[in-house]
């Protein structure tokens, strides 16, 4: 089956250049986002929104966006709205730690701190409220940081068990990808399950019984799939 190269439409609902944390203010009306959603629906897919702030998330959800990417400055009430509308939270453990960003501009630096201060609340509250949470990053163009994808996944142990972390990154993420129906690129078998003919790579490692999941980063380096 030919697959259209565009699987999902992503918009940035509250910042044109969030890599530099320069603004974090709304930039679309509800009607504009509804137009994106209508076009995506015509293409049998959905709209994901790169968005951080509470009001912008609320409007995106009301306009029909199906995945909130980041969302670190959301309130509990907005997460409840997401849950009630079956909207996903695709998020990553951004922390002001060894992988933290630093900015020359003090305004951007403060916004980065505000965002990372929201990380703990976001994960804890999303879990309590029952929002569907996926693991995803938008680390695309920085090879050194891309090497750290597995390390980012392992940081989720602050809020989840190793079992929950691995489930999120595999079968739960697969559920989110399948929102783009005939447009996602994995059409030749089942996704997110371990079964004959399915898109699953099972890597078994002989390791000490360690009480953590430090293996994903290692596995991604030594066992390309
Ligand atoms: Zn993003």
Q: Are 162 and 213 in contact (CB under 8 A)?
A: yes
Give domain status of residue 39, yes or no.
Answer: yes
Give domain status of residue 113, yes or no.
Answer: yes
Give domain status of residue 1, yes or no.
Answer: no
Domain hosting residue 37, numbered range: 9-222
Give domain status of residue 92, yes or no.
Answer: yes
Of 69-78, 106-115, 170-179, which range is least confident? 106-115
pLDDT tens track for 29-56:
999 999 999 999 999 999 999 999 999 9
Q: Indicate whether 170 pLDDT > 80.
A: yes
Residues with Cβ within 8 Å of residue 39, at least 6 apart in sequence: 9
- What average pLDDT does range 133-162 have in this prediction? 91
Question: In terms of Cα–Cα distance, which of 49, 123, 125 is closest to 87?
Answer: 49
Instruction: Tell me the CA–centroid distance for residue 64 and ligand 1, in Å.
Output: 18
Instruction: Tell me the CA–centroid distance for residue 92 and ligand 1, in Å.
Output: 10
Question: In terms of Cα–Cα distance, which of 175, 152, 177, 178 is closest to 165?
Answer: 152
Q: What residues have their beta carbon closer than 5 A to ion ligand 1?
A: 50, 69, 138
Residue 192: pLDDT band with limits 50, 70, 90: confident
Strands 47-53 and 67-73: parallel
Q: Indicate whether 128 pLDDT > 50.
A: yes
Q: What is the pLDDT of residue 3?
A: 43
Q: Please report, for the domain that includes residue 68, its CATH number.
A: 3.20.20.140
Instruction: Tell me the CA–centroid distance for residue 128 and ligand 1, in Å.
Output: 24
pLDDT tens track for 107-120:
888 888 999 999 99
Instruction: Tell me the CA–centroid distance for residue 14 and ligand 1, in Å.
Output: 11
Question: In terms of Cα–Cα distance, which of 179, 82, 186, 176 is closest to 135?
Answer: 176
Cite the DSSP H helix spans in 49-172: 54-63, 76-84, 106-117, 119-129, 143-146, 149-154, 162-167
Q: Indicate whether 127 pLDDT > 80.
A: yes
Give domain status of residue 41, yes or no.
Answer: yes
Tell me what percent of the residues of the chain surpass a pLDDT of 70.
Answer: 85
Q: What is the pLDDT of residue 195?
A: 87
**CA dist., res. 51 & res. 10, Å (int):** 10
Number of domains in the chain: 1
Residue 75: pLDDT band with limits 50, 70, 90: very high
Instruction: Tell me the CA–centroid distance for residue 138 and ligand 1, in Å.
Output: 5
Give domain status of residue 3, yes or no.
Answer: no
Give domain status of residue 155, yes or no.
Answer: yes
Instruction: Tell me the CA–centroid distance for residue 142 and ligand 1, in Å.
Output: 14
Give domain status of residue 80, yes or no.
Answer: yes
Instruction: Tell me the CA–centroid distance for residue 69 and ligand 1, in Å.
Output: 6
Question: In terms of Cα–Cα distance, which of 90, 64, 58, 94 is closest to 76?
Answer: 58
Per DSSP, 82 falls in state H
């Amino acid at each position: 089956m030919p697959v259209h190269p565009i699987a999902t439409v992503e918009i940035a609902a509250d910042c044109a250049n969030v890599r530099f944390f320069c603004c974090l203010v709304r930039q679309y009306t509800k009607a504009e986002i509804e137009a994106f959603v209508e076009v995506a629906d015509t293409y049998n897919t959905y709209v994901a929104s790169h968005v951080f702030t509470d009001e912008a998330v609320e409007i995106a959800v009301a306009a029909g966006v199906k995945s909130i990417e980041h969302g670190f400055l959301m309130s509990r009430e907005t997460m409840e709205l997401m849950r009630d509308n079956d909207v996903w939270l695709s998020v990553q453990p951004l922390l002001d730690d060894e992988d933290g960003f630093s900015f020359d501009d003090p305004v951007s630096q403060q916004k980065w701190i505000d965002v990372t201060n929201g990380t703990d609340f976001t994960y804890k509250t999303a879990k309590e409220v029952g929002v569907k949470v996926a693991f995803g990053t938008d680390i695309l163009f920085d090879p050194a940081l891309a090497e750290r994808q597995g390390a980012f996944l392992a940081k989720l142990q602050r809020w989840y068990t190793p079992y929950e972390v691995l489930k999120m990154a595999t079968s739960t993420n697969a559920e989110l990808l399948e929102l783009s129906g005939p447009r996602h690129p994995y059409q030749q078998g089942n996704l997110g399950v371990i079964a004959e003919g399915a898109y699953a790579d099972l890597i078994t490692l002989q390791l000490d019984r360690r009480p953590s999941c430090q293996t994903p980063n290692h596995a991604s380096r030594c066992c390309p799939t």
